[in-house]
Chain A
Amino acid sequence: MAERCAVIGIGQTKHTAKRDDVSIPGLVREAAMRALDDAELTWRDIDAVVIGKAPDMFEGVMMPELLLADALGAVGKPMMRVHTAGSVGGSTAIVAAHLVQAGIHQRVLTVAFEKQSESDAMWALSPKYPFQPPLVAGAGGFFAPLIRAYIRRSGAPDDVGMRVAVKDRLNALKNPYAHLHMADISMDSVRASPMLWDPVRYLETCPSSDGACALVLASDEAAKRSPRAPAWVRGTAVRSEPTHFAGRNQVDPRAGRECAADVYKQAGITDPRKQLDAAEIYVPFSWFEPMWLENLGFAADGEGWKMTVEGATALDGDMPVNPSGGVLSTNPIGASGMIRFAEAALQVRGMAGEHQVPGAKLAMGHAYGGASQFFAMWVVGSERP
């Protein structure tokens, strides 16, 4: 039987293009110490550490848990390293939650990070394999055709992506940890920005960030002694499907739908738009907001874009999506999923500051990776289940 699990500490670094004032250990330690401070705990209180990040080649350090054991206070403790592509920040938090839910540990520190300035992610994402034509297109080149397919299938007007780009950047202005703070963002400036991968413009894509995010997850007993409101884990789910096969729906992947159905079932959610107060969804390219709204059951097929156009996903809308500013404003790749999970928890703890959704009680964190094939989701709530 699963034990209860709650988030009692959250820490992030101020995400930015280049943190050349800290080493990789310094970066992760900064986030971890903030999470410990939030929980009013010390390193001694932590039973185990679970870290996650995207490919090791992004920093050029192989299996960095070995390097980071000291900085994360893991010496003498169990330490694990998760890697599930872009969904890794989410799946890392889920592995950590399982350690508590299985009754193995009382308090687990989980940290996800990327220090993109240490190398070139575009290169690391575009290696030349023997006997395969090199793509050398990065993630944007891979996902743009899926977006075009979505636009064709749904008949969405061409400004939906730009609306998401503006909305998320305006939200980011209320989040002190967000990488991009673009006070002058507007539909005109997004439209005027260079087209990178049609239909994705420069200002419709995520930045490259250095950043880390950390959570302290606690058992029921440990959460009772938490100085601040816990965010109770109401459900966790992961799903994976293969990269390519004929007939695979890459625009609306079945793994995403089944992952959402699983996590909603655990959390007792039958109508996500009505029951969830906020959602932090992994949107690295603007158009993925309407695409995921459909995949996650917030909107009927082909109608996700209407929620965006109607303003339903704005901070003051009926279904706020990415009140933090989302991946479009902050993208330390391996940490981006955990930031979604953390921001969902901040909302239900009532600790999201200026980007707080008033009275949020139930929120979702979502991450995806690979060729829209790896999914990790959790639902957190203010009420103890």
Chain B
Amino acid sequence: MPRDVAIASFASLVEPRFDGDEVEVLAPVIGEALRAARLERRDVGFTVSGSCDYLGGRPFSFVMALDAVGAWPPIRESHVEMDGAWALYEAWVALQHGDIDVALVYAFGRSTQGNLYEVLSAQLDPYTVAPLGIDARSMAALQARAMLDAKRCTERDMAAVAARSRGGDVEALLAAPYVASPLRAHDCGPAYDAVAAVVLVAGDRAKQCCDRPAWIRGIDHRIEPHALGTRDLARSPSVELAGERAGVRKAPVDVAEIDAPFSHQEILVRSALGLGPTTRVNPSGGSLAAWPYIVSGLLRLGEAARAIHTGKARRAVAHATSGPCLQQNLVCVMEASDG
């Protein structure tokens, strides 16, 4: 039986472009998350972060960020070169078996340092695919085309997602030219800079740290093959499996935060999770309104928790993704105590 763990607080800074370096922007956000949980640095038993060297174009970007945490006296700390959502998963695991009650999770990334779509090409098979120079938006377009061909959505459905997430009129959006057919500009989340911090607290202590804790009732993640040609891009078996293991369908979902930087991906994930028409999807605007790579998944977890903290939801689902065309996915179900 898993130990009860809750997201007790969440803080973030999401901007079109940061001035200053990561430590400068990260330190106040971490401080804000700890204060919101009525905790101090010394209360944290385990710290884990997510970041990606290729965004800043330098190795060990997580090392300097440690200064934002104030790792003195020495701390128990870890890092994943993945979206912060997986850092949260590592922290949740540590809280399951360890002698600690409080974990700090953070993620940071400046997607605006280069051309994000081209940077992401460095994820591809270096022998057979990366040399082709296909970028992330082009691959997402292949997936959107596969969904259109499979009649899983229409361009109008995609525009409707965009209109809800970032504003605009569907007819006007559909009149815009393609940027990578069948994707239009509104179908692609703009690269942003962001930092995010989440405090996880286990057991009864969570109630002291938060008036309305967002209890994690299920969390799971799954990966699919790397080569696009081996996948049915119009489906997401990894979201289906992770959603099932996390227990998404056990009860109605009030709010879902889906990490979909391309409009068709929200439709795909929503369907793979089996969310009904009463679920409010991405009230925050989601990754279509702002796509800070490596942070966007942790932001979804934080925003879903915030919906519970503020009483806007009793049961919420968060989704995070990694890799081309939703290759890897994480799903987390959270509930209020009365959820």
Contact = CB atoms under 8 A, between A and B. Distances in A.
Interface in A54-75: 55-57, 59-63, 65-70, 74-75
Interface in B25-83: 47, 52-54, 57-60, 62-64, 66-67, 70-82
A240 B72 CA distance: 9
Contacts of B241: 76
Nearest to B92: A102
Contacts of B52: 56, 62-63
Contact of B126 (A65, A67, A238, A373): A67
Contact of B322 (A66, A75, A102, A104): A66
A78 B53 contact: no
Contact of B123 (A62, A76, A243): A62
Interface in A37-92: 55-57, 59-63, 65-70, 74-85, 91
Contacts of A68: 226
B96 A241 contact: no
B223 A78 contact: yes
Nearest to B327: A66
A3 B93 CA distance: 12
Contact of A104 (B59, B72, B96): B96
Contact of A80 (B70, B89, B119, B122): B89
B123 A103 contact: no
Contacts of A81: 80-82, 86
A102 B77 CA distance: 18
Interface in B84-105: 86, 89-90, 93-94, 96-98
Contacts of A237: 76
B96 to A, nearest CB: 4
A79 B328 contact: yes
B202 to A, nearest CB: 12
B151 to A, nearest CB: 26
A102 B78 contact: no
Interface in B223-258: 223-227, 230, 237-238, 241
Contacts of A84: 77-79
Contacts, number: 174
Nearest to B323: A66
B224 A69 contact: yes
B152 to A, nearest CB: 21
Interface residues of A, number: 60
A160 interface: no
A183 interface: no
Nearest to A83: B81
Given A62-B120, A239-B74, A254-B73, A78 B221 contact: yes
A45 B179 CA distance: 45
Interface in A5-57: 23-24, 55-57
A255 interface: yes
A368 B77 CA distance: 13
A57 B97 contact: no
A240 B71 contact: yes
Contacts of A78: 220-223
Contacts of A95: 78, 90, 93
A55 to B, nearest CB: 4
A68 B328 CA distance: 12
A269 interface: no
Nearest to A55: B59
A98 interface: yes
B66 A243 contact: yes
Nearest to B330: A78
Interface stretch (A121-129, A198-206, A294-302, A346-354): A121-129
Contacts of A69: 223-226, 327-328
A318 interface: no
A258 interface: yes
B93 A59 contact: no
Contacts of A140: none
A60 B237 contact: no
Interface string A238-250: 1111110100000
Interface in B192-223: 220-223
A281 interface: no
B223 A74 contact: yes
A304 B302 CA distance: 48
B324 interface: yes
B80 A238 contact: no
Nearest to B66: A242
Given A103-B97, A242-B72, A91 B78 contact: yes
Contacts of B120: 62
Given A60-B126, A78-B220, A102-B97, A239 B328 contact: no
Contacts of A23: 127
Interface string A219-255: 0000000000000000001111111010000000111
B59 A127 contact: yes
Contacts of A253: 74
Given A63-B323, A77-B222, A124-B59, A56 B74 contact: no
A208 to B, nearest CB: 16
A240 B77 contact: yes
Interface in A355-385: 370, 373-374
29 contacts: A2-B98, A56-B54, A60-B122, A62-B120, A62-B122, A63-B52, A63-B323, A65-B82, A66-B328, A69-B224, A69-B328, A70-B226, A74-B223, A78-B220, A78-B223, A79-B223, A80-B89, A81-B81, A84-B78, A95-B90, A98-B94, A99-B93, A101-B97, A102-B93, A237-B76, A239-B77, A240-B75, A242-B72, A259-B74
- 6 closest Cβ pairs, A-B complex: A55-B59, A255-B74, A102-B96, A102-B97, A62-B122, A240-B77
Interface of A: 1-3, 23-24, 55-57, 59-63, 65-70, 74-85, 91, 95, 98-99, 101-104, 118, 124-125, 127, 129, 237-243, 245, 253-255, 258-259, 370, 373-374
Given A67-B125, A70-B227, A240-B47, 5 more contacts: A24-B126, A61-B123, A95-B78, A98-B98, A118-B126
